[in-house]
C-alpha cells in the first residue's frame, strides 16, 4: 500500500490537471466569442453530435433486428418533426422520439 503522502500528492496532481483541463476551454472561448467559426460551430455541433449519437445507438439494434429499421426511421422523423414544430426544444424532441422508438419496439 502506498504511503499517505504519496496518495495525497497523486490526488493533488489529478485535481490540478482536471481543474486546468475544465477551465481551459472557457478561457479560450472568452477570446474567441466574436469569431465566425465559433458561431458556426454553435449552430452545427449540436446537430452533428445528435446524429452521431443516433447512428451509434441505433446501429446495434438495427443490425440485430433488421425490421427495427422502420421503427428507427419513424422515430427519427418524429424527433425532427417535434424539434421543428415546437421551437427547437432538444430535450422534448429527443425524449418524444425515444419514447416512440421504445413503444414501437415493445408494442409492435
Surface-to-core class of residue 105, CB atoms within 10 Å of its CB (0-12 exposed, 13-18 middle, 19+ buried): middle
Residue 72 near residue 38, CB atoms below 8 Å = no
Question: Same domain, yes or no, for 49 and 85?
Answer: yes
Same domain, 60 and 92: yes
Q: How many domains does the chain have?
A: 2
Among positive and negative, which fits the CA dihedral 42, 45, 47, 53?
Answer: negative
* Banded pLDDT at 29 (limits 50, 70, 90): confident
Same domain, 84 and 45: yes
Q: Do residue 100 and residue 68 come from a single domain? A: yes
pLDDT at 99: 95
- Does pLDDT of 23 surpass 80? yes
> Which tens digits make up the pLDDT trace of 39-97?
888 888 888 888 888 788 778 777 888 878 888 889 989 989 999 999 888 889 989 99
Q: Are residues 45 and 96 in the same domain?
A: yes
Domain span including residue 2: 1-33
Residue with cell 479560450: 28
CB 41 within 8 A of CB 78: no
Amino acid at each position: 500500500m502506498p504511503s499517505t503522502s504519496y496518495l495525497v500528492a497523486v490526488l493533488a496532481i489529478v485535481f490540478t490537471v482536471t481543474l486546468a483541463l475544465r477551465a481551459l476551454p472557457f478561457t479560450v472561448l472568452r477570446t474567441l466569442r466574436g469569431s465566425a467559426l465559433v458561431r458556426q460551430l454553435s449552430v452545427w455541433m449540436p446537430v452533428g453530435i445528435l446524429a452521431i449519437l443516433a447512428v451509434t445507438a441505433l446501429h446495434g439494434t438495427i443490425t440485430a433486428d433488421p425490421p427495427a429499421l422502420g421503427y428507427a426511421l419513424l422515430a427519427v422523423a418524429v424527433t425532427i418533426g417535434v424539434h421543428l414544430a415546437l421551437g427547437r426544444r432538444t430535450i422534448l424532441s429527443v425524449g418524444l422520439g425515444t419514447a416512440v422508438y421504445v413503444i414501437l419496439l415493445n408494442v409492435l
